[in-house]
Amino acid sequence: MIIWIASYPKSGNTYLRSFISSYYFSKKGKFDFDLLLNILQFPSVKFVKKKINSETEASQNWIYNQQQFFSGDKIHFLKTHSSLNQYKGNSFTTKNLSLGAIYIVRDPRNIITSMTHHYSLNYEESYLKLINEKQTLLEKSIGEDYSNFTFLGSWSSHYKSWKNTNDFNTLFIRYEDLENNKLDTFRKIVNFIDALKKDNSSIDEKKLVNSINSTNFSNLKNKEKNEGFEESPYSKSGEKKNFFNLGFNNRWQKILPKNIILKLNNTFQNDLNDLGYNLYE
């Protein structure tokens, strides 16, 4: 069975799985990058039985590959950026394979700055990706293998697909609450996971605090600087860039051009209101 750690790209997924891997896969809550190997990404070339030759073929094999690698009673944590909306009639997962999910949503006005850095795009290009209902994600490996093909859709349809699913329990959290209401939010995450696992033991408060402290953004950024991080992106010229860039210092009010703020506010006004994000502050 699978517990999904899900999000639209650049929404704090790695930060969240750093905490979860620290709490559940270390002895004392001390984080190390190697712990992330306990929460791998799906879809991925690691979890296929054969070469995938097209996007359609990839979507046809999502559930099959989950059945091959993650069926049974053992619990697997998996990271994903996939939407739950169907792609060409193919579903991403099923309630028989998914025990539950934690979905982290982030203000799109901060996502867009992270996108421009990570993917080497300008603001207009990033905006068009955020609103594209057909948007996909594919990091092609040697031989044009489509094993890790991911269907995103727009930012709005993406978060709604996870928030509104009735197929399994989903804990829906905001990235910003990991800063503004840190202890309560992380405690809520542990309680949710333990309930899915039917673990009635009490939270290890010392380990909880250690996991929070050892995975704070400054520590992750320093570890990447000193040790390197295999998920760090490359610029178009081939230069390696920081994966952990601005974090909670990413403030759209101070960074974004006014025309981009206006576009995002107009396009996502209902979503921003629904999620409790202020339009102008």
pLDDT at 205: 95
**Could you list the pLDDT tens digit for every one of the 281 residues in the chain?**
999 999 999 998 988 998 999 999 999 999 888 898 999 999 999 999 888 999 999 999 999 999 999 998 999 999 999 999 999 999 999 999 999 999 999 999 989 988 887 677 889 999 999 999 999 998 655 457 899 999 999 999 999 999 999 999 999 999 999 888 889 999 999 999 999 999 999 999 999 999 999 887 676 667 666 565 555 444 455 555 455 555 555 566 777 888 898 999 999 999 999 999 987 66
Distances (CA, A) of 239 to 159, 236, 271: 32, 7, 36
Q: What is the DSSP string of 78-134?
A: EEE---SS-BTTB-S--TTTEEEEEEEE--HHHHHHHHHHHTT--HHHHHHHHH-TT
Give the pTM: 0.88
Looking at residue 76, what is its pLDDT? Answer: 97
Please report, for the chain, the start and end positions of each structural domain, with discontinuous segments joined by +. 2-108+136-244
Alpha carbon distance 30, 241 (integer Å): 25
- pLDDT for 244 equals 53
Consecutive H or E run containing 4: strand 2-6
Identify whether 233 is preceded by a cis peptide bond (ω within 30 of 0): no
Torsion angles phi and psi, residue 41, rounded to 5: -95, 145
Which residues fall within 8 angstroms of residue 53, CB to CB, at 6 or more apart? 144, 145, 146
Pairing of strands 150-151, 169-174: unpaired
Q: In terms of CATH, what superfamily is 2-108+136-244? A: P-loop containing nucleotide triphosphate hydrolases (3.40.50.300)
